[in-house]
Each structure stands twice: as structure tokens, then as C-alpha cells.
Amino acid sequence: MGPTPVSAQEVEVGFKGGANFNDARVPRAGMRRGLSVGAFVNVRGLEWLGVQVETVYSRRGAGLRSARQSGDIRIDYMDIPVMMRGSVTDPRRRFRFSLMGGWYYGVEVGCGLTEPPEDPEGAVCDAALPNRGSTDTGPVGALVFDVGLTGRYYFTVDLRYSRGLLTEWDEEGGDPSSRNFALMAGIGILLGI
């Protein structure tokens, strides 16, 4: 059973979680897997167009191999993406496909070297990334696929790409404009209100 037709304005809320794969773009670093969990609100003013606002905890970082440190650097953020969401298919159908695009702002909530050794206070992270910023911001885009379950409940999957524009690394002789990117997949349930 698909969703009911959209009235003048419709609000959807839900939760999502999943994996992200990211590369902090620091010298001698590789890709690192992380996780993302959060909540979202999608307000559709038109049948096919809306604004989606999210709050997402995102664990990012890189596999670091440098003269100073070796291990996985993890940098945790609370991200707030604000995106336009446009339905490519009829939003009243059981299977919906949408595109989202917008901007996000993230605040660092933790940083550390995960192995070896565990570093809960972030001292090793501060030594390895001495000039990193405590915030991140940049463009974000996503492909979204929704499947109606019963009534107004949905299963949703999104595949997103975000590109951080703030400096993550500024070692002597290094690139002061290093950037972070994340590719995330998420699942959740949409609740029509």
C-alpha cells in the first residue's frame, strides 16, 4: 500500500543509520570506515519538492601512516545537513526515488587514534593533526529510494556524498587546503505526519 496524496504541506520524520567510507585527505593516509546515525525531518511544500533537515552523528577519519603516528585517526562530528529534496517519481507511489542536494555544517565532538594505542582523551590525535579545525562544512548530495510499508510508514535507503571544505591537516610543508569527504549509506523509516 502506497502513501496517500500529498496535501498543501506534508511532514515526514524518521531515523537512519549506516556506514560511511571516508578519506580525510591527509598525507600518507588511506580510507577508513565509520558509522553514521541520526534523525531527519522532511517538509514538502509541493507534492514533488521539499526541504530535509537532519542531525547526524558521523564517525570519520583516515588510516594514518606518518613519522609521528601510525594507526586509525577517528574524528567524530555532529553534522546538520540542510537539503532540498526533489521526487523523481510520483511521491504517492509505493516506490519513490528522490534526489537531495544542499549544504552541511559539522562540529567536532571527538578525535583520537584508535589503534595502536587507544586514545580516549585525544592527545595522540592532537599531536598527529595539530592544526585541524573543530568544525567542517561543505556541499552534500544524495540519491534516496523509499519503499512504502503500511499506511504512512516507509523504509528508506540513501547513498550520499559530502565534501568537507575546511582544513583537516596543515603539517609543515604539507597542503594547508586538505579536505575531508564521506560517502554514506543509510536506512530508516519515514513517518508521515
Go through the domains of the chain in sequence order and give each one's CATH number: 10-192 (2.40.160.20)
**Best-predicted range by mean pLDDT (32-46, 123-137, 152-166):** 32-46
* DSSP one-letter string for 98-111: EEEEEEEEEEEEEE
Please check the confidence at residue 55 and state whether its pLDDT lies above 80.
yes
Residue 4's pLDDT is what? 43
CB count, 10 Å around CB of 5? 10
Q: What global pTM score does this model have?
A: 0.78
- Contacts of residue 102, defined as CB under 8 A and 6 or more positions apart, other chains included, come to 52, 81, 82, 83, 84, 139, 140, 141
